[in-house]
Amino acid sequence: MEQKVHQGRNLKRFREMLGIKQDALAFDLGEEWTQKKISILEQKEVIEENLLQKISQIMKIPVEAFQNFDAEAAINIISNTFNNHDHSSPQFASVINNSPSFHPLDKVVELYDEKIALYERMLKEKNEMIEKLEKIISNK
pTM as predicted? 0.52
Domain count, the chain: 1
Domain of residue 25 covers 7-81+102-139
pLDDT tens per residue across span 110-133: 777 888 888 888 889 889 988 988
Degrees (nearest 5) of the Cα angle 87, 90, 93?
55
The answer to whether 3 touches 68, Cβ cutoff 8 Å, is no
Could you tell me if residue 75 is inside a domain? yes
**Per-residue pLDDT tens for 50-62?**
999 999 999 988 8
Question: What's the one-letter identity of residue 96?
Answer: I
